[in-house]
Structure 1
Amino acid sequence: MHGEIRGLNEECGVFGVFGHPDAAQLTYYGLHALQHRGQEGAGIVTTDGTKVHAAKGHGLINDVFTQSQLDDLTGHASVGHVRYATAGDGGYENIQPLLFRSQTESMALAHNGNLVNAQGLKSQLEAQGSILQTTSDTEVIAHLIQRAGHINKEEAIAQALTMIKGAYSLAILTEKCMYVAMDPRGIRPLSIGKLGDAYIVSSETCAYDVIGATHVRDVKPGELIIIDEDGMRVKSFSAPIQRTLCSMEYVYFSRPDSNLDGKNVHASRKTMGKNLAKEAYVEADIVTGVPDSSISAAIGYAEASSTPYELGLIKNRYVGRTFIQPSQELREQGVKMKLSAVSGIVEGKRVVMVDDSIVRGTTSRRIVKMLKEAGATEVHVRIASPPLKNPCYYGIDTSTSGELIAANHSIEEMREEIGADSLYFLSTDGLESAIHDGEESMEHGSCQACFTGNYPTEIFPSTIPPYEKE
């Protein structure tokens, strides 16, 4: 992924194991496969049935865990998490899984998504005497579960889930049991797999291949799945609503070897590229994609337009993440460090540059300039998604329209800003047909709020940053 060089940051990744003696080691490998979903922090919590063990820290998986730490994480069940901070700051206390201990039972929570009514719930909880230890909206879920009182854990979780609004794919681990849940709209992905008799939970199916597990089923919207020593049970805590899985999972976030709603991500991206070629063909000599998430769409565009696909841009995989640089000037320099134009390929050529999205426009401008400096006679930019015009409140780091170039400029103004000879974005119909083959149902829909402004849930005033309301 190249989100770190263009300002579109990943969400989070959830992984869990129940019923395997090497639960921690499997979770470590699973989180490796989900590393693209978050690089700011990682954690693993395990249980042996009586005791809970935990380790977490800032940075990438390899930076956080040592072999001795993994050896100390004993037990047959575990939950793990990689995070990018969307709600809450980057403090150590916010790194998940969040672990809560009580006299009767411990509880670890790993959450992908964002709650749109978290601030209101926090105010209610504090008014009722709760003391919040983090700035993460995930902690709200734990307090709601605990406040359910004497009812059993399964019912307490179901009751809490009816009170929260927004996007959540959730894995909860106690000493004896694992609970898996998805919001009624199914905005974030989550699925169940098997490895022998053990159950596996993962944000993306690509993680199953790493550990040799098989994909069994996707978690459905409004489901609460209970996994314990007796197996797996499924109950619903919400009436069925049409699923609105985040379309940016297909466009950008998920790995190309993952399947979402039964559809391969690489195949969907290729179709986006093909639809883009049908909508916005331009005579050119070569097609190139911006590594990595745009390669599939570029291949599709090349196939549909009968234009040769070439590696006109190369990614340097050994440069550190550039979004940690403190200034915009240094971030822009980081683009040049991370991507290089292949002058021997693009020199004297009319180039179609395919990218998955434009956030601020900074990176697109740098890449167009790079291609022209390498000798490209024309650079035609084709974007395999509609313009990003609206903030996301469900877990993507675009919470204000002020940072979105498409929200404040026309297509022609954007073209001039990035220095392209032409600029075209995929239509919403073109995106939808690529994701669902032109067919929508109660089980298969997508959220396109960042493109259309039509949010699948109510957006509470406290969700919107003060500077966005002005």
Structure 2
Amino acid sequence: MSEEIKHECGLAYIRLRKPFSYYLQKYGTVMYGLNKLYLLMEKQHNRGQDGAGIAAVKLDVATGSPFLQRMRSNAPQPIADLFFKIGQELQEFEKYQPDIKEHPELMKGHLPMLGELLLGHLRYGTQGKNNVEFCHPFIKRNLVPGKNLALAGNFNLVNTEELFDLINIDPGVFQKQSDLAAMMEVVHHFLTQADTVSPNAANVTEVLRKATPLFDGGFTIGGLLGNGHSFVMRDAHGIRPAYYYIDDEVIVAASERASIRTTFNVGENEVHELMPGTAIIVNEKGDYAIEEIIAPRERRACSFERIYFSRGSDEKIYRERIALGHHLSKRVLEDINYDLKNTIFSYIPNTAEVAFYGLVKGMEDYLNQIKIQRIMSWGKDFDEEKLSEMINRKIRQEKIAIKDVKLRTFITEDASRNEMVQHVYDITYGTVKKGVDTLVVIDDSIVRGTTLKQSIVRMLARLNPKKIIVVSSAPQIRYPDCYGIDMSKLGDFIAFRAAIELLKERGMEQSLTDIYDRCKELQRTNQLHTENVVRKVFQPFTPEEISVKIAELITPSDVSIPVQVIYQTIEDLHDSCPTNLGDWYFTGNYPTPGGNRVVNKAFINYMDGKNVRGY
């Protein structure tokens, strides 16, 4: 993606089902669980680089001994930082007892993070600041082991204020900035209020069934209790992803299927999707159950997971990204007037590469059809040279745009900074026939358009192509997200700005005031959640009209080469990614009432000139 957007978080959960001596005997190390947790987190490092944290619960510890531990880091490489510190602790103990690795119980007693229950988290900061206090897991402590809780998740909630009100808590400054703090308080409230025979044995399933209906958002969360119980739960719409693997040695859950497959070397069919509204509930003995916590609703799994966020090493995601590119090929062929001879195809590194392969495959399919038709039309009128020339025709592919090292500058003056931004990408010279070749580059999505205008289009124009066509494997991003992706300000979206420009050009600015007044009226009557009023901004225009205006907006004033933008259609997106139909950032069709409230609030903020989040 040419423009990084912070998104999603990554969850990693491991429950060891055997004693540490078992792993020492079979795998040669007591650190088996921690080693696997490291791999599980590292294989998802794309999901969060603002910070990381891990929590561990030890089973059957002596009374008064620590049983719940946590480490967090916001270092530049937080996963490595956490596990480096664990390694340092082990090295310190080895100085005094060199054979400590051969004594599982001694290791368990001395190494704080060596627990049978492990919970890891990777954070992209969408709420709050990026200091270490905001890194998951959060913990709540209690004198009763079963009322100690460690919680982490991949989610955003849009009703945090209401949650604090429901349990009569006046949140502090820190809590107000964290939706996890709100979720933690609610879960812990029902955990401590649970009516049980033993204060150390709350029914986790019933606690979650009371808490979950109160959350407005998309979420996958994992929790560890101090008494050895644990859970991983997914929201009713399946907005955020969750997968699990279970055998007689471990119970594992993570945000991505491929990370589990790679870490534990298991087949695709052995890793299962945790279905919407369900949870894996594991007791202190390591026995588990898959429980329905809340009735599943219409599946609205995030389509951005397939377009960009999840790693493409998952074979299904790989095929879907191929399909995204392939679906665009017909439109591109039409817009280059089928002139493959004078068209170069490339991609904006690096995550658009798979969609690029799909786009090129579509071109190759067309070219092969042309080859067959031409050869058949010759009859016997051909020689080896003529046949060879036809067979050897290829789609012209070049690596045109090169993501250079991340440029940093101390310069704050705008003109100088813009000059530096131009050079985030570099180009490959000598690849384009000046004034003859059309240059087609594919990107995952176009969010703000800033990098395209300030860097990519300007750099590509230096090659002097006849035309530049920017292709997006995602549809136009028109609306905020509030379920895990940091896209909450309408004014940031190039598609929204394009619609505003069109309204102004056509003398329809009054409609903005009308929309604003409607939003304010809904806000006054506490009905902001009932409808997405902002859809009316786009209603007067076709997607093609918006795309033309976007092309104008991303073209620098001093670039005379024609620029065109082609977007994926909603229909082709759904056809490519049939199990992930969550598309609210493209269509405005939010799965929960909180989404409507967020988009309408974002519009009010835009009209009021407030550069703040919509939730």
* TM-score normalized with structure 2 length: 0.69
Partner Cα distance (2:166, 2:412) in 1: 36
Q: Which residue of 2 aligns with 1:296?
A: 354
Q: Which residue of 1 aligns with 2:127?
A: 87
Q: Which residue of 1 aligns with 2:70?
A: 54
Which of 269, 273, 289 is the matching residue for 1:218?
273
Q: 1:313 to 1:361 in 2, by over 3 A?
A: same
Partner Cα distance (1:323, 1:458) in 2: 43
Higher-helix-fraction structure: 2
Partner Cα distance (1:460, 1:435) in 2: 22
Percent of aligned pairs with the same amino acid: 24
**Kept after mapping to 2: 8 A contact 1:222/1:237:** yes
Q: 1:329 to 1:166 in 2, by over 3 A?
A: farther
Q: 1:244 to 1:329 in 2, by over 3 A?
A: farther
Q: Is it true that 1:65 corresponds to 2:82 in the alignment?
A: yes
Which of 486, 491, 510 is the matching residue for 1:397?
486
> What is the Cα deviation at residue 413 of structure 1?
2.0
**Kept after mapping to 2: 8 A contact 1:195/1:213:** no
Q: How many residues align?
A: 453
* TM-score normalized with structure 1 length: 0.88
Aligned ranges 1:279-428 → 2 under 5 Å: 279-281=331-333, 282=336, 283-284=339-340, 285-306=343-364, 307-316=395-404, 319=406, 336=422, 338-346=424-432, 348=434, 349-365=437-453, 366-409=455-498, 410-419=546-555, 421-428=563-570
Q: 1:302 to 1:177 in 2, by over 3 A?
A: same
Partner Cα distance (1:206, 1:331) in 2: 39
Partner Cα distance (1:251, 1:329) in 2: 34
Partner Cα distance (2:410, 2:116) in 1: 36
**Kept after mapping to 2: 8 A contact 1:181/1:223:** yes
Greater C-alpha radius of gyration = 2
Of stretches 212-221 and 27-36 in structure 1, the one that deviates more from structure 2 is: 212-221
> What is the Cα deviation at residue 314 of structure 1?
2.6
Partner Cα distance (1:445, 1:163) in 2: 24
> What is the Cα deviation at residue 377 of structure 1?
3.6
Superposed CA RMSD = 2.7
Which of 436, 449, 461 is the matching residue for 2:584?
449
**Kept after mapping to 2: 8 A contact 1:28/1:61:** no
Which of 239, 249, 254 is the matching residue for 1:202?
254
Letter of the aligned partner of 1:37 in structure 2?
R
Cα deviation, 1:45-103, whole Å, max 9, x if unaligned, reads 11222412211111333553243425542112211111111123323221101122111
Of stretches 152-161 and 333-342 in structure 1, the one that deviates more from structure 2 is: 333-342
Which of 547, 567, 576 is the matching residue for 1:434?
576
Partner Cα distance (1:325, 1:231) in 2: 58
Question: Which SS does the other structure have where 2:328 is aligned?
Answer: helix
> What is the Cα deviation at residue 232 of structure 1?
2.0
> What is the Cα deviation at residue 158 of structure 1?
2.3
Which of 21, 26, 36 is the matching residue for 1:26?
36
> What is the Cα deviation at residue 309 of structure 1?
3.1
Q: Which residue of 2 aligns with 1:103?
A: 143
Letter of the aligned partner of 1:190 in structure 2?
A
Alignment gaps of 5+ in structure 2: 21-31, 62-66, 91-110, 196-201, 365-394, 499-545, 556-561, 609-615
Question: Which SS does the other structure have where 1:44 is aligned?
Answer: strand
Higher-strand-fraction structure: 1
Partner Cα distance (1:253, 1:392) in 2: 14
Question: Which SS does the other structure have where 1:85 is aligned?
Answer: coil
Partner Cα distance (1:27, 1:327) in 2: 45
**Kept after mapping to 2: 8 A contact 1:32/1:61:** no
Letter of the aligned partner of 2:217 in structure 1?
G
Partner Cα distance (1:426, 1:14) in 2: 30
Aligned ranges 1:149-298 → 2 under 5 Å: 149-151=193-195, 152-154=202-204, 155-175=206-226, 176-194=228-246, 197-214=249-266, 215-228=270-283, 229-258=285-314, 264-281=316-333, 282=336, 283-284=339-340, 285-298=343-356
**Kept after mapping to 1: 8 A contact 2:11/2:222:** yes
Question: Which SS does the other structure have where 2:280 is aligned?
Answer: strand
> What is the Cα deviation at residue 136 of structure 1?
1.2
Partner Cα distance (1:217, 1:332) in 2: 47
Of stretches 157-166 and 306-315 in structure 1, the one that deviates more from structure 2 is: 306-315
